[in-house]
Amino acid sequence: MRFWRVWLLASLVVVCILPGCSTQEPDEAIHTSLTQKSPDEISENVQITQWNLNTVDFELWAAKVLRWEKTHLTLADSVYIKSYNPDGSLKSTLVADSARMDEKNNLIIGKGHVRVDSDNGVMKADYARWDRNTDEMKAKGNIVLIRGENTLYGNELQTDIRLDRIEIVDVSAKGTVNEEDFTW
């Protein structure tokens, strides 16, 4: 009888405590648990166009797409996204080795060689999380931000998809900086 009590207590410890010790980011933990189920749809060489009334909101190209209907989760490999302004002009492009699209919350999470290009410059990172509701983006890992002849480096970045407003953590710079030219 004592053996069963010890076994039950040990099982409860494993079930209740170990999940809290995960080293995964919350996005990764959700991704891992959802993708253990087979996707509802698998497609290769995909192009998706999302319209907002009579204008294109964004276009996505991917080598492979996995989609889960119930969770509104889409995973894509070798991703290229063009985002457009309401007037139809190009707002920005995003490229990543892979992306997770949470359709329910309107989030796009790019991983691996993430690059965002806009009229305001180029941002490169290992990871970027784009909230399409607010157009805000958070990036982590090996941040490189290029505007003209100036290059900034950092560990974390918060910006908008147009690269207008930028905050960088642990910043360093390369290039010649004239205070009159440095308005960002």
Q: In CATH, what number is assigned to the domain containing residue 40? A: 2.60.450.10
Evaluate whether residue 47 is within a structural domain.
yes
Domain that holds residue 32: 24-174
Q: Is residue 164 part of a domain?
A: yes
Structural domain includes residue 1:
no
Within a 13 Å sphere around the CA of 1, how many CA atoms are in the beta-carbon half? 0
Tokens for 80? Answer: 């290229």
**Closest to 26 measured CA to CA, from 127, 95, 141:** 127
pLDDT the model gives residue 52: 87
The total of structural domains in the chain comes to 1
pLDDT of residue 180: 63
18 occurs within a structural domain: no
- Highest-scoring range by mean pLDDT, 4-8, 9-13, 29-33, 54-58: 54-58
73: its two tokens: 């989760």
Q: What is the pLDDT of residues 87-130, one digit of tens each?
A: 999 999 999 999 999 999 999 999 999 999 999 999 999 999 99
CA distance linking residue 127 with residue 115, whole number of Å: 9
Please give the average per-residue pLDDT across 72-85, as a whole number: 95
Does residue 34 register a pLDDT over 70? no
Inside any domain, residue 181: no
Tell me, yes or no, whether 13 lies in a domain: no
Percent of the chain with pLDDT over 70: 75
